[in-house]
Amino acid sequence: MISGYLCRVKLYTDWTHFYRLFTPPEDYAAEAAAYRAGFEAAAPSAKTLLELGAGAGHNAVHLKGAYTCTLTDLSSAMLDLSRELNPECEHLVGDMRTLRLGRAFDLVFVHDAVMYMLSEAELAQAIATAFAHTAPGGAAIFAPDCFAEDFREETLTWESGDAERQLRCTEWAWDPDPSDTRFAVEYAVLLREAGEVQMFHEHQENGVFPSSTWRRLLEQAGYSVETLERPLDDGERDRVWLCRRRA
Ligand SMILES: C[S@@+](CC[C@H](N)C(=O)[O-])C[C@H]1O[C@@H](n2cnc3c(N)ncnc32)[C@H](O)[C@@H]1O
């Protein structure tokens, strides 16, 4: 069951019918290859992977050939999308702040869903969940969209479509209060289907933290931490966290 702020995020509940157009699985291939290379370097004999906040499974579709994947998310509607794409994977509803499966995995992966950790306390909870599920000798990757020192107000526009539907989207990230750990993202989506155009607007809250906060929380949890370069859609590159479990 989705609770609190996220029960109102329509993109992951009421509007999942256009999610695949919004962010197509093929767009994740290059970054997923970077995550796989990082995992192979950190834990070469790894076989099992747990993803926290796996959403529609758009990274998992590129990782499941290498690992047996267990995919978790707060939203059962998102996991339904992932089941269509990744029927061979285990799917479980769970909140990354509190999930405890009682078993460990060689690898734990936390992608952009970690952006929904709105306070340092919530971020520490998600990291503790990842650590609790990382087997000795295992590794974890945390891949937030940005760090506080890099945050800039920015607007992205893009279009996608298939034989039946066309989607146009504007994503506008802005910070109403730079003194806190949140920023706002406005999504404006136009969806054309059977000659009719519908408009969707959603305001979301994301969390953003200095990389120094991230490093401190990861090390306090019990990880040795390094960074891993990944490619971005616009041809740029940034860095995410590659963590090995200490002892
Ligand atoms: C941008 S989507 C993830 C997309 C994903 N990277 C993919 O491959 O499809 C963000 C996801 O985070 C999930 N989420 C947000 N807060 C969460 C939490 N506390 N625990 C688990 N999942 C969460 C949402 O339900 C949503 O599916």
Distance 46 CA to ligand 1 centre (A): 24
Angle at CA of residue 72, ends 71 and 75, nearest 5°: 125
Asked whether residue 186 carries a pLDDT value surpassing 90, the answer given is: yes
Range from 71-85, 136-150, 207-221, 227-241 carrying the lowest mean pLDDT: 227-241
Pocket, ligand 1, Cβ cutoff 6 A: 6, 12, 52-53, 55-59, 73-75, 78, 95-97, 111-113, 116
Distance CA 107, CA 59 (A): 14
User: Looking at ligand 1, which residue's alpha carbon is closest to its atom 16?
Assistant: 116
Distance 213 CA to ligand 1 centre (A): 22
**CATH 3.40.50.150 in the chain, residues?**
4-147+210-245
The sheet carrying 68-73 orders its strands as 90-93, 68-73, 48-52, 105-110, 134-142, 237-245, 223-231
Pick the CATH number of 4-147+210-245 from 3.40.50.80, 3.40.50.1400, 3.40.50.150, 3.20.20.80: 3.40.50.150
In tens, the pLDDT along 147-184 reads 999 999 999 999 999 999 999 999 999 999 999 999 99
Asked whether residue 2 carries a pLDDT value surpassing 90, the answer given is: no
pLDDT at 5: 62
DSSP state of 196: E
Average pLDDT over residues 99-111: 98
Q: What share of the chain in percent tops pLDDT 70?
A: 97
**CATH 2.20.25.110 in the chain, residues?**
148-207
In tens, the pLDDT along 205-216 reads 999 999 999 999
Pick the CATH number of 148-207 from 2.60.40.1180, 3.30.70.520, 2.20.25.110, 2.10.10.90: 2.20.25.110
User: Looking at ligand 1, which residue's alpha carbon is closest to its atom 4?
Assistant: 55
